[in-house]
């Protein structure tokens, strides 16, 4: 299968909680004239991030369910890419969001190694989000370095929460770690004027992307599900206490919550011991809540009793 015009593919990577989904929403808003498709890969059983994407038709969002694609690259990944092009011939740009613990190299490699994918797609580059708030206290530095190593554009996100001197210091370290990348500051995923067609800085091929097998056996997920509305004050108190006590073990928490006497769903985003709750959509269905924790969770008492 080949196309007259190849579909550009942009990879969005970055560690857990760096702001990848927020940045994707920014891209979609800034490029409303383009027909996007999205391949979403989440670490965990519950697809939280797909609920947060605004601007891509639900039928053109593909979820990969067989684990983190960097270490479980299977036929599913390449079949999804081929099926996407067949089902949606009008797609003008493909975004792939990796999990926060992914090495992006194996995600990129099929676009160079697979003959059919080379005929359909054009690799457009990789954007890596970096969390300025948690940069100096990073729990998995090796993963982050792998993400930086293939990035064409690095966005130092959440700079509004860090003073200018520390931002400059982080920028200097990023330039040392990734001298071939363009690096710029961002806030709430807002990268300013960004030419989506001019991201790639590196010359890659299937051999430059060879990497060692990845294993995330020490990183687990735990999902809490509540079938009825819960008390907001009780949950917030429990979560504040839990994230403070175990902030070095819980890398990320996210979810959607339905509280008693609240007409709206709330979106939970947490990283590095901090979290925020934002008002979401009006509740139209049964009040179900789900929260996902990611990190080194062995023997942690992650149970909330409504």
Could you read off the pLDDT of 115-147 as tens digits, one per residue?
999 999 999 999 999 999 988 877 788 888 989
Domain identity same for 22 and 167: yes
| Selected residue with higher pLDDT from 203 and 56 | 203
Alpha-carbon span 111 to 125, nearest angstrom: 11
**Domain residue limits at 157:** 7-185
pLDDT confidence bin for 87, thresholds 50/70/90: confident
Residues 6+ apart with CB under 8 A from 286: 227
Answer whether 41's CB lies under 8 Å from 76's CB. Answer: no
Instruction: Report CA Rg, the chain.
Output: 19
Residues 135 and 266 in one domain: no
* 155 & 227 share domain: no
The mean pLDDT of 147-165, rounded to a whole number, is 92
Alpha-carbon separation of residue 220 from 4, 46, 234, 238, 298 (angstroms)? 43, 13, 25, 21, 8
Would you state the structure tokens that stand for residue 278, as one six-digit string? 């934002």
Is 207 domain-assigned?
Answer: no
Please indicate, yes or no, if residue 282 is contained in any of the structural domains: yes
- CATH of residue 27's domain is 3.40.50.300
Mean pLDDT to the nearest integer, 243-248? 92
Asked if residue 54 has pLDDT above 80, the reply is: no
- Give the mean pLDDT of 44-72: 56
- For residue 85, count other CB atoms closer than 10 A to its CB: 22
Q: By the 8 A CB rule, do 143 and 101 touch?
A: yes
Strands (E), 51-120: 61-64, 93-97
Put the strands of the sheet holding 153-157 in their side by side order.
61-64, 36-41, 93-97, 7-14, 121-131, 153-157, 182-185
Residue 305 within a domain: no
Residues 17 and 128 in one domain: yes
Higher pLDDT, 214 or 233: 233
Which single residue is written with the structure tokens 């300025």? 132
Judge if 282 and 133 occupy the same domain.
no
Residue 238 domain-assigned? Answer: yes
Q: Report which secondary-structure segment, H or E, holds 123.
A: strand 121-131
Q: Which of 185, 209, 230 is the last residue in one of the domains?
A: 185
Q: Does residue 215 belong to any structural domain of this protein?
A: no
Structurally, the chain folds into a number of domains equal to 2
The answer to whether position 192 is within a domain reads no
Q: Are residues 225 and 78 in the same domain?
A: no
Q: pTM (2 decimals)?
A: 0.82
- pLDDT class of 70 with cuts at 50, 70, 90: very low
Q: Is residue 211 domain-resident?
A: no
Q: Is residue 145 part of a domain?
A: yes
- Residue 117: count other Cβ atoms within 10 Å of its Cβ: 19
């Amino acid at each position: 299968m080949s196309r007259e015009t190849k579909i550009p593919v942009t990879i969005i990577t970055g560690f857990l909680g760096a702001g990848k989904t927020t940045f994707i929403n920014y891209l979609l808003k800034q490029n409303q004239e383009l027909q996007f498709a999205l391949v979403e890969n989440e670490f965990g059983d519950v697809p939280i991030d797909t609920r947060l994407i605004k601007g891509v038709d639900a039928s053109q969002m593909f979820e990969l369910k067989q684990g983190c694609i960097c270490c479980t690259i299977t036929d599913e990944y390449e079949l999804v890419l081929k099926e996407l092009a067949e089902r949606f011939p009008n797609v003008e740009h493909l975004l792939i969001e990796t999990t926060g613990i992914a090495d992006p190299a194996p995600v990129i490699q099929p676009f160079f190694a697979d003959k059919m994918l080379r005929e359909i797609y054009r690799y457009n580059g990789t954007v890596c989000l970096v969390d300025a708030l948690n940069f100096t206290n990073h729990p998995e530095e090796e993963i982050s370095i792998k993400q930086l190593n293939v990035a064409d554009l690095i966005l130092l996100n959440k700079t509004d929460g860090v003073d200018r001197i520390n931002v400059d210091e982080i920028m200097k370290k990023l330039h040392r770690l990734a001298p071939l990348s363009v690096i710029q500051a961002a806030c709430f995923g807002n990268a300013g004027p960004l030419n989506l067609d001019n991201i790639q800085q590196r010359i890659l091929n299937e051999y430059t992307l060879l990497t060692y097998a990845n294993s995330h056996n020490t990183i687990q997920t735990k999902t809490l599900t509540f079938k009825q509305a819960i008390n907001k004050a009780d949950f917030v108190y429990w979560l504040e206490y839990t994230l403070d006590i175990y902030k070095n073990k819980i890398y990320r928490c996210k979810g959607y919550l339905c509280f008693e006497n609240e007409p709206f769903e709330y979106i939970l985003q947490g990283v590095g011991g901090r979290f925020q709750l934002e008002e979401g959509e009006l509740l139209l269905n049964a009040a179900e809540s789900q929260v996902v924790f990611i990190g080194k969770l062995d023997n942690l008492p992650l149970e909330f009793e409504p």
